[in-house]
C-alpha cells in the first residue's frame, strides 16, 4: 500500500514540484482550498505550508497528515471509506459532504486530458466525485503533468473550457497546449 503510493509520488517528481509551486502561488490568505488526493495535489500541499489562514478541504490522508501540524492551516478531511490501495476517502458520504461545501479555489488532478480538452479519471466513482468537487469551487484548476496530456481514460468528469485553467509542466506537448489556448482555454506552465 505505502510502496505503491510512494512509487507514484516519485514518478515525474520534478514536474509535480513545478506544478505545485505555480499552483500554490494562486492561493491567497483566508481562502478555502479544496484538493483531491493525487500525487500532484500532494506536491501543491507542500507549497501551502507558508500560506496564512487557509482552510484546506481534502480527500487525501497524506495531505491531511502532512498539514495537520501547521497552526495557521485548518483542515477538513472529508469522511467516507478509505479506498483500497490508495490513501484517500471515497463513497457516498464523501460525495454528500462535497455537495454541501464551498471553496474559493480547487486543485483537481486528472488521469488524462485529451487534445479536445476533456478531463478524465480511470475510476468511474472517483470521476463522479471529482465532478462534484469541480462544481463546489469558485475557481477550479486542473493540475496534470506532461504524462497525462494528449491521452484519454475511462470517465470524463469535466472539460478544460469549464474551469479556470490547466496547470501543467514545461515538458507537456506544446502543440496540444497551443491548441487549448486557441480555443480560449487558459494554460499555466
Residue 47: what pLDDT? 95
Residue 3: what pLDDT? 45
Residue 115: what pLDDT? 98
pTM: 0.93
Residue 67: what pLDDT? 95
Q: Taking the chain (189 residues) in consecutive chunks of 10 residues, what is each chunk's mean pLDDT?
A: 49 84 97 95 94 96 93 95 89 96 98 98 96 98 97 98 97 98 98
Residue 137: what pLDDT? 98
Using CB atoms within 10 Å of the CB of residue 48, give its burial: 0 to 12 exposed, 13 to 18 middle, 19+ buried.
buried
Residue 4: what pLDDT? 54
Residue 1: what pLDDT? 43
Residue 12: what pLDDT? 56
Residue 85: what pLDDT? 78
Amino acid at each position: 500500500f505505502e510502496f505503491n503510493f510512494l512509487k507514484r509520488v516519485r514518478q515525474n517528481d520534478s514536474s509535480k514540484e513545478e506544478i505545485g509551486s505555480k499552483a500554490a502561488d494562486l492561493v491567497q490568505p483566508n481562502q478555502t482550498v479544496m484538493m483531491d488526493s493525487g500525487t500532484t495535489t500532494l506536491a501543491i500541499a507542500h507549497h501551502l505550508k507558508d500560506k496564512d489562514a487557509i482552510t484546506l478541504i481534502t480527500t487525501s490522508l497524506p495531505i491531511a497528515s502532512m498539514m495537520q501540524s501547521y497552526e495557521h492551516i485548518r483542515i477538513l478531511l472529508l469522511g467516507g471509506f478509505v479506498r483500497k490501495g490508495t490513501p484517500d476517502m471515497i463513497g457516498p458520504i464523501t460525495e454528500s459532504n462535497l455537495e454541501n461545501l464551498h471553496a474559493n479555489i480547487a486543485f483537481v488532478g486528472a488521469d488524462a486530458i485529451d487534445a479536445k480538452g476533456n478531463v478524465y479519471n480511470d475510476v468511474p466513482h472517483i470521476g463522479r466525485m471529482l465532478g462534484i468537487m469541480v462544481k463546489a469551487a469558485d475557481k477550479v484548476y486542473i493540475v496534470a503533468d506532461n504524462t497525462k496530456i494528449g491521452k484519454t481514460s475511462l470517465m470524463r468528469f469535466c472539460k478544460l473550457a469549464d474551469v479556470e485553467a490547466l496547470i501543467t509542466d514545461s515538458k507537456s506537448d506544446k502543440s496540444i497546449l497551443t491548441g487549448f489556448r486557441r480555443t480560449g482555454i487558459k494554460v499555466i506552465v
